[in-house]
Structure 1
Amino acid sequence: MAVDRLLPSQEASDLLALTAEIARDELAPAAAGAEERELFPRKAFQLLGDSGLLGLPYPEEHGGGGQPYEVYLQVLEELSSAWMTVGVGLSVHTMSCYPLARYGTDEQRDRWLPEMIGGDLLGGYALSEAHAGSDAGALRTRADRDGDEYRITGTKSWITHGGVADFYALMARTSDDGPRGISCLLVDGATPGLSAAPPERKMGLTGSPTTELRFEDARVPADRLLGGEGHGLAIALNALDSGRLGIAACAVGLAQAALDLAVDYAKGREQFGRPIIEFQGVEFLLADMAAAVQSARAAYLDGARRRDAGRPFGAQASVAKLVATDAAMKVTTDAVQVLGGAGYTRDFPAERYMREAKVLQIFEGTNQIQRMVIARDLAKS
């Protein structure tokens, strides 16, 4: 089902049309098979790079698309409606470029950013640790200065693109000064001493590798420090604000795909001599699903437009992430219900959508954390 979008320019409309074509012709036909075989779609990201979609919200002078965030997020939604692994992967890549784009020096941006957003490289975001998930300030991975290098030791957990990323935005401890002792380093994926554990065995997004990253005396040049020592936690949290909008857009894409599937099935499935979409029990369910999708889309667009206007948007990003991912879980579950027994089989993608939706409520900050962020913003107002 085509989404009626209000876009800010003809260029944005053309960009969304290109994205929809890629999603329909290249991504959607490959998604189910690759997810079943747990195959990482690196060629899909190369296609996005060749099409200019890997650096949309970053400046044109560095090879980006120079697009407003509201346009980038709608591209993300379109891709996610066809294949969530690709949508989430693009969101993670964009967030991994953010520390350099926002906090790097002019020299650092000129040196590394064009290649990172130009289409050939893929990024990973290395923040979480097994004992420090929501409590990012408690991380233990160390980066100790040793002459012109940092010597990194420790383990990161739940890293999207672990082992396949070309670079990582790494948060590591450079001093023992609590949360203020954390710094951000841009780490080459081929750094000696850096390795990835076997991918986690997940219930969904099986085409996207999620691994531990192990740093064993890994040496990183000191000129890859971003924003100065001690600024890593602030960098990480600011990146997460934008990343949460990305996950919200992914969630809306997934929910839209589930809604479209349920509507099409309800139109074609007959019981008691008429399509089941004509029964009130089904049509009310579908109406609630549609309302949830549209409300979630409005929430992420509100956050994006505030970001584009240079206004504070952290609380709105948490609202969007909370609303959109809860909606995705509900809508995908209801889609399985509309399809009935067929929805519980792998003959239809409804069961995969439902499995994929669950993690959206967990990563980029659990939805319990989002409620804390929202409540604290209310307390300050």
Structure 2
Amino acid sequence: MTTTADFDTLLSAHEDDAFAPDTLAGLDDREEFPDDAVRVLDAAGLPAHYVLPPDGDVSETVRLLRAVARRDLTVAIAHGKTFLGAVPVWVAGTPAQTTRLAERVRGGEPVCWALTERDHGADLFAGEFTAAADGSGDGCGGDGSGDGRGGWRLTGEKWLINNATRSTLACVLARTDPAGGRRGFSVFLVDKRRLPEGAWHNLPKVRTHGIRGADISGFTLDGAPVPADSLIGGQGDGIAVVLKSLQLTRIACTALSLGAADHALRLARDFAAARELYGRRLADVPHVRRILGRAAAAALTAEAVSLLSARSVHTLPGELSAISAIAKAYVPTVTQETLTRLGELLGVRGFLTQPPGGGFAKLERDHRICAIFDGSTVVNRAALLNQMPRLARLLSRRRADTEGLRAATDLAAPLPAFDRDRLALLSVTGCSAVQSLPDAAARVREQGPPEAAALAHRLLAELAGLEAESAAFVPVAGGLPSTAFDLAERYERGYASAACLLLWLENPSLRTGRLGTDGLWLRACLTALLGEDDSDVFDALADVLLDATAPDFTLLGGAA
């Protein structure tokens, strides 16, 4: 397995060829797939980190994908899609299916995840792609009335699928009951190599605003025969398998936003440090420093959310229905807001598409897709609100899985193996991080620097408001009022606050160096989360950013 440091060193060695900024910009301009960069990642062993059982580490996968994304989002999305495509097998496959797929993924074969359809978008229950039991064995009828022991016939179109054309394998959601409904769909792992000639038809690549070089296309099948062992999970389990898979993929997607933030901060830092305005360096202008400091605080907060969420895959799997929705809504949203602010700082430079000096425009438009795939921000906030009554009750009771939470937040603690049997469509234990916020705030008030203690005190007042608002929330049939989404955002900020407090408390290494001394990063993150304007703390954080030489500005050592 590739370590993060070795992987980053290897990618840096290719910044004059496959990962050269002008090379990647040229591919984007011509809308060409980044074949050379993908081959570098394959040779580096990245596909092995897309295999979850038996000893995969989602937090390490996120760190590696982040290293790719900080260089180019198109490459990261194109290559990382295999993790997303394979997850349904890790979640519900048999040991034999898991072993077979793991071997092929490690060998670099791309896997796509075929969920969406042209006329139905993200409405999975409306899907018309069908799988009918094949009448060639066990007396199964060709009308779909059998049990599939003789295999299946797949018919329909899947569209706007990443790597649809380039993949050799596809996890496909298909309607197996004409009536549809929660038990009306199943997931199949389709192997193109086992299909008769002409059974699989690729659809043309779709031109997109961002990630122009990615293989965003589709395919059609017309009675394509697949064997019985292509069914993942049981017949009718498809929606449940997809929802559990999304709990992992949504967290993995945070790597893309973290990498985008790394890239944007580097561009803005270099611009501010080199540019002069009226005889002085742009980086010395107070307003500019405040923009840089706020952007750095937002990036570190997003990292804290991602760190806690990725480790929770292993330590708090039963809570992922809530955690993944929070992470997928919060991290891309706060990153896009940060990119907007940094774009204004860069001015006309932010509109240039070619290096040197360019690259931000491509980065900004590429990142916009991150808030959409695997459930948009609205979809994830709605998913969180559907659980809000239970989350509110558990918040008021102050109950938390302290053991699982401590293992998630102690970055030196070994992670247990991923246990798919603990995944649940709804979290029985709520969200332990938010529910532990009062205790974490109290501990920081006792142990932290005075400035951090004062912020923790103000967090308790915010928490009291969140508790009251969530307790009064009642889901209504026929949709959610706009005010409800404000509650979801508030709950996300509660989770982000808890992530920052708990990581600071449980990791002495995060309390050292320029970022950690006097709780600088913690104070900056909490100040931003509380919506306060403290020029001193943002100026101090801007100092660290401007002096940083590492390619990433991170809690894990790059900004020390």
Same fold (TM over 0.5): yes
Q: Distance in 2 between matches of 1:315 and 1:353?
A: 29
Q: Is 1:31 matched up with 2:24? A: yes
Is the contact between residue 100 and residue 113 of structure 1 (CA under 8 Å) also seen in structure 2? no
Pick aligned residue for 1:207 from 204, 213, 220:
213
2:7 aligned partner: 19
Aligned residues between the structures: 364
Q: Distance in 1 between matches of 2:183 and 2:372?
A: 25
Q: Is 1:336 matched up with 2:343? A: yes
Q: Is 1:179 matched up with 2:182? A: yes
Higher strand share: 1
SS in 2 for 1:152: strand
Pick aligned residue for 1:49 from 10, 24, 42:
42
1:6 aligned partner: none
2:286 aligned partner: 280
CA deviations over 1:294-332 (Å, ceiling 9, x no partner): 111111111111111143222211211111111222222
The 5-angstrom pairing of residues 160-171 of structure 1 reads: 160-171=162-173
The 5-angstrom pairing of residues 144-159 of structure 1 reads: 144-146=132-134, 147=136, 148-159=150-161
Return closer, same or farther for 1:119/1:84 CA change in 2, 3 Å cut-off.
farther
SS in 2 for 1:56: helix
1:238 aligned partner: 244
Q: Distance in 1 between matches of 2:36 and 2:243?
A: 31
The 5-angstrom pairing of residues 76-91 of structure 1 reads: 76-91=65-80
SS in 2 for 1:180: coil
Deviation at 1:243, TM superposition (A): 0.8
Deviation at 1:371, TM superposition (A): 0.8
Q: Distance in 2 between matches of 1:214 and 1:161?
A: 14
Q: Distance in 2 between matches of 1:59 and 1:133?
A: 28
Is the contact between residue 87 and residue 250 of structure 1 (CA under 8 Å) also seen in structure 2? yes
Deviation at 1:185, TM superposition (A): 0.6
Q: Is 1:349 matched up with 2:359? A: yes
SS in 2 for 1:201: coil
Amino acid at match of 1:169: C
2:377 aligned partner: 367
Amino acid at match of 2:37: A
Is the contact between residue 249 and residue 324 of structure 1 (CA under 8 Å) also seen in structure 2? no
Is the contact between residue 82 and residue 257 of structure 1 (CA under 8 Å) also seen in structure 2? yes
Amino acid at match of 1:183: S
Pick aligned residue for 2:332 from 325, 331, 345:
325
1:98 aligned partner: 87
Mean Cα deviation higher: 323-332 or 266-275: 323-332
1:121 aligned partner: 109
Deviation at 1:222, TM superposition (A): 1.9
Unaligned runs of 5+ in 2: 137-149, 392-560
The structure with more radius of gyration: 2
TM-score when scaled to structure 1? 0.90
Q: Distance in 2 between matches of 1:319 and 1:23?
A: 31
Deviation at 1:380, TM superposition (A): 2.1
Q: Distance in 2 between matches of 1:163 and 1:38?
A: 15
TM-score when scaled to structure 2? 0.62
SS in 1 for 2:256: helix
Mean Cα deviation higher: 83-92 or 73-82: 83-92
Q: Distance in 1 between matches of 2:353 and 2:39?
A: 28
Mean Cα deviation higher: 41-50 or 288-297: 41-50
1:69 aligned partner: 58
CA deviations over 1:51-78 (Å, ceiling 9, x no partner): 22112153677xxxx3421111111111
Return closer, same or farther for 1:24/1:330 CA change in 2, 3 Å cut-off.
farther
Is the contact between residue 91 and residue 244 of structure 2 (CA under 8 Å) also seen in structure 1? no
Pick aligned residue for 2:223 from 217, 238, 243:
217
Q: Is 1:188 matched up with 2:191? A: yes
Is the contact between residue 173 and residue 181 of structure 1 (CA under 8 Å) also seen in structure 2? yes
Q: Distance in 2 between matches of 1:57 and 1:228?
A: 24
2:277 aligned partner: 271
Q: Distance in 2 between matches of 1:298 and 1:210?
A: 31
Amino acid at match of 2:162: T
Amino acid at match of 2:192: G
Amino acid at match of 2:383: V
Return closer, same or farther for 1:60/1:156 CA change in 2, 3 Å cut-off.
closer
1:134 aligned partner: 122
Amino acid at match of 1:175: D
Q: Is 1:291 matched up with 2:293? A: no
Is the contact between residue 262 and residue 335 of structure 1 (CA under 8 Å) also seen in structure 2? yes
Is the contact between residue 78 and residue 214 of structure 2 (CA under 8 Å) also seen in structure 1? yes
Unaligned runs of 5+ in 1: 1-10
Backbone CA RMSD of aligned residues: 1.9
- Percent of residue pairs identical: 26
Deviation at 1:214, TM superposition (A): 1.3
